[in-house]
């Protein structure tokens, strides 16, 4: 399993980064992306902590841990600036907390994230065809979410993305150990969104391609 959207005690998750890595390895993960929530007030502090994972995560053999961040409930007009700052600080990849229907995300967040050229637009809710086309053209991955609430629009995201040729990725948005999933569970979630086991494999391939890009 490759999962590029998880959280630790550095934001609102339950586990320390190294414990999350260990539990993910035991669950069958080969690549774990830790993308704690940040905004303008916390981004530098989170960077100072999570970037250390690159030095120590190798202690858990058999799993690669990558430090990212998730810009969350940020004013849409700040997303471009924050994306640039995140890259400057050294985060390997940038996720934006998209316009899920489960939370009061500011309208315009999806479009701002795509314009900023982030790596993953998480749980983008009732994303428009124009936004999907723009994401496709910029190579931004659109997330199919395993998380309750955010997953309510998986079917819409899957349908529009497939019809317009945008690339998808499956992530868990894990906050606790019970949120981590196996490959088999991931396949079922993807099928529940109206896709196929083959699409699950394609999403994992998309995630692996992003990892190759950001790790060189």
121-174 pLDDT tens trace? 999 999 999 999 999 999 999 999 999 999 999 999 999 999 999 999 999 999
Is residue 13 classed exposed, middle or buried when 0-12, 13-18 and 19+ CB atoms within 10 A define those classes?
Answer: buried
Whole-number Å distance between alpha carbons of 86 and 83: 5
Whole-number Å distance between alpha carbons of 41 and 23: 29
Is it true that domain 2-215 has CATH number 3.20.20.140?
A: yes
pLDDT in tens, 161-211: 999 999 999 999 999 999 999 999 999 999 999 999 999 999 999 999 999
In the chain, the percentage of residues whose pLDDT exceeds 90 is 96
Instruction: Specify the pTM.
Output: 0.97
Whole-number Å distance between alpha carbons of 143 and 100: 11
Picking from 110, 112, 116, the residue whose alpha carbon sits closest to that of residue 93 is: 116
**pLDDT of 44:** 98
**Res. 72 pLDDT band, cuts 50 70 90:** very high
Q: How large is the average pLDDT for residues 82-94?
A: 98
* pLDDT at residue 77 tops 90: yes
**pLDDT of 57:** 75
Per-residue tokens: 99: 């316009």
**pLDDT of 216:** 81
pLDDT in tens, 26-50: 999 999 999 999 999 999 999 999 9
Report the chain's mean pLDDT, rounded to a whole number. 97
Residue 136: CA count within 13 A, CB half-sphere: 15
* pLDDT at residue 54 tops 90: no
């Amino acid at each position: 399993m490759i999962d590029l959207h998880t959280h630790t005690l550095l934001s609102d998750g339950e586990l320390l980064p190294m414990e999350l890595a260990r539990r993910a390895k035991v669950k069958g993960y080969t690549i774990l992306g830790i993308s704690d929530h940040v905004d303008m007030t916390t981004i530098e502090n989170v960077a100072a902590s999570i970037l250390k994972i690159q030095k120590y995560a190798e202690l858990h053999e058999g799993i690669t841990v990558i430090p990212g961040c998730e810009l969350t409930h940020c004013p849409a007009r700040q997303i471009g600036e924050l994306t640039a700052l995140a890259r400057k600080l050294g985060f390997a990849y940038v996720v934006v907390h998209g316009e899920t229907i489960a939370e009061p995300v500011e309208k315009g967040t999806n479009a701002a994230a795509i314009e900023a050229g982030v790596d993953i637009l998480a749980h983008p809710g009732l994303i428009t065809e124009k936004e999907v086309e723009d994401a496709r053209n910029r190579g931004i991955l659109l997330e199919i979410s395993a998380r309750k609430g955010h997953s309510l629009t998986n079917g819409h995201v899957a349908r529009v993305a497939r019809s317009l040729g945008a690339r998808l990725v499956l992530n868990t948005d894990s906050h606790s150990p019970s949120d981590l999933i196996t490959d088999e569970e991931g396949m079922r979630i993807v099928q529940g969104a109206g896709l196929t086991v083959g699409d699950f494999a394609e999403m994992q391939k998309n995630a692996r391609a992003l990892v190759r890009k950001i790790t060189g």
